[in-house]
């Protein structure tokens, strides 16, 4: 079965984008990875209305990407912080890859807004696709793609 003969109705890329593929959702995740946890801080930093932010946070919590942790400042009611779950932290390479692509093709002429460096040696961090046996970076032309066990043929009209 070739790619164009394969149905995309159960495509994991599509399913992932259904959860996190909207611009505001990715920006919320960007901020969550950078330590922003509170609703007011997210609203102010990302620049969203209360309604849109509430909707996106609700969806991320329902998907198990963020969870809520109660906190209470003195003299105020209990509120919730939004923290990445292990499932949410697994999206980190995706955001780093988006940043890496952006720094290559649409960067600010003055340089990066943030730099991501290895804590131990200070080297810049980058995302690569590699062969686990050879530990070498691979280009798209160096891999083969085959239908997996969940591949289904495109339905005939």
Alpha-carbon distance of 150 to 135, in angstroms, equals 28
3-142 in CATH: which number? Answer: 1.10.10.10
At residue 157, the pLDDT reads 74
Helix, strand, coil percent content, the chain, rounded in steps of 5 = 40, 15, 45
pLDDT digits 0-9 by tens, 31-73: 999 999 999 999 999 999 999 999 999 999 999 999 999 999 9
At residue 123, the pLDDT reads 97
Please determine, for residue 1, whether its predicted confidence score (pLDDT) is greater than 80: no
Per-residue pLDDT, averaged over 105-125, amounts to 95
Q: Which residue, 136, 139, 127, 129, is CA-closest to 100? A: 127
DSSP 80-148: EEEEE-HHHHTTHHHHHHHHHHHHHHS--TT--S---B-TTT-PBP----EETTTTEE--GGG------
Rounded to two decimals, the pTM is 0.88
Domain boundaries, the chain: 3-142
């Amino acid at each position: 079965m070739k790619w164009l003969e394969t149905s995309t109705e159960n495509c994991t890329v599509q399913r992932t984008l259904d959860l996190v593929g909207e611009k505001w959702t990715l920006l919320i995740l960007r901020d969550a990875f950078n330590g922003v946890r509170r609703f007011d801080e997210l609203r102010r930093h990302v620049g969203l209305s209360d309604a849109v932010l509430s909707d996106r946070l609700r969806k991320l919590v329902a998907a198990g990407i963020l969870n809520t942790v109660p906190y209470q400042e003195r003299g105020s009611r209990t509120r919730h912080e939004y923290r990445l779950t292990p499932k949410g932290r697994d999206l980190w390479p995706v955001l780093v890859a988006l940043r890496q692509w952006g720094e290559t093709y649409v960067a600010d002429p003055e340089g990066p807004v943030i730099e991501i460096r290895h804590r131990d040696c200070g080297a810049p961090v980058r995302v690569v696709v590699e062969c686990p046996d050879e530990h070498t970076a691979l280009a798209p032309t160096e891999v083969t793609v085959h239908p997996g066990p969940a591949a289904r043929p495109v339905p005939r009209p």
